[in-house]
Amino acid sequence: MSYGISIENESGYLQISDSYTNYVLVASGSVSATAGATGSFSGVSPGDATITGLQAEDIVAVQGSFLSEKYRTSSAVGIYNWQTSTQSISYRVYRKSSNISASTSDYGLEVFDASGNLRFSSKYPPAVVLATASTRTGSGVSGTTGAYACLTGTGLVEVFPGEEDGGFIAGEITDLTVSASSSGYSAQTDFEDNYDETVEWQLPVGTTKKLLFIKE
Amino acid sequence: MAYGVQIFDASGNTVLDTTDTVGFIKASYTGSIAGGGTVNLTVPAKTAGDEVLDNTYYTAGRLGTLTCQYTTSTNIQIKSTFSGTQSYRVIILYRGY
């Protein structure tokens, strides 16, 4: 790079650049989820909650227990609550920095690319990535207590903030069953968490679901 | 401290520290995928720290799952278990290293 700005952290990882767009925090809060109808993970009628005010390409990260995405549009996301009790779900909305407006304040730091697109603004905290996890490997993630887990399509996301086991997220995938249907082969797996409970998770054969965890 | 930046908000809370790893958007793709189908995307060469995530729009009650993953360093494969056509939105997230 012959011009522009590039800032790396202690490990040489890029933190600020005029060449890449960040995801930045634009909204946060909590919503109340209604309770699910049963205590089982099979045949359960989940409760739900809704987060609104989104824009296209936003990503939503949540903190709660036994949650999954119900639906997603350009302006809202619905969340299933698979618990039989109500719960308060903390959420954060991250937006492409190129989709936010430059600050009008007279202090801070903003970085633009050669086309004038906003690449970084100190007004908006960037999404700090703690870890990613791959469901199929069943490796789980440790040390992410209090993390926000991104809702990523139709997969299930579990987060156990502050639990005595250290906040392990996810666990082993067990009892893999492969079956054929009119839409092709699919795999029904049991996703075992740290409480020896299982959660159904459907994935196409030979695929993984990547999860993203963001620093609180 | 050798490198990096620290950024604080107006209350003195740290919003970016010298050890933090930031998520950047390397590329994003949208399209549609047939029920039970597969779509291959040619993408920029994968580097360390790249992850592909889906951020798909879909309606409540649709049964199925989309997954997306690298099959080679320049190919991402999307698979669907939905019974009908489904849109997809995938993001390549670059973690800065």
DSSP secondary structure, B42-70, as one string: E-SPP-TTEEEEE---B-TT----EEEEE
User: Which residue among B59, B64, B89 sits closest to A71, beta carbon to beta carbon?
Assistant: B59
pTM of the model: 0.80
Residue among A35, A148, A138, A135 at smallest CA distance from A82? A35
Residue A151 per-residue DSSP state? P
> What letters, b where the CB count within 10 A reaches 16 and e where it falls short, cover B34-70?
eebbebebebeebeebbbbbbbbbbeeeeebbbbbbe
Does B5 map to a domain?
no
Domain total for chain B? 1
Does B68 map to a domain?
yes
Q: Tens place of pLDDT for every residue, chain B, 97 residues? A: 567 888 888 888 888 888 888 989 999 999 999 988 999 999 999 998 898 988 888 787 666 678 888 999 999 999 887 788 999 999 999 988 7
A1-16 average pLDDT score: 83
Q: Where along chain A do its domains lie?
A: 6-121, 129-214
pLDDT at B45: 95
What are residue A202's DSSP bridge partners? A188
Residue B56: both structure tokens together:
């798909």
CA distance from start to end of chain A: 33
Does B71 map to a domain?
yes
ipTM higher than threshold 0.90: no
Confidence label for A213 from pLDDT (cuts 50, 70 and 90):
confident
A23: pLDDT strictly greater than 80: yes
Does B9 map to a domain?
no
User: Which residue among B22, B61, B93 sits closest to A128, beta carbon to beta carbon?
Assistant: B22
What residue in A sits closest to B17 (Cα-Cα)? A9
CB contact under 8 A, B16 and A20: no
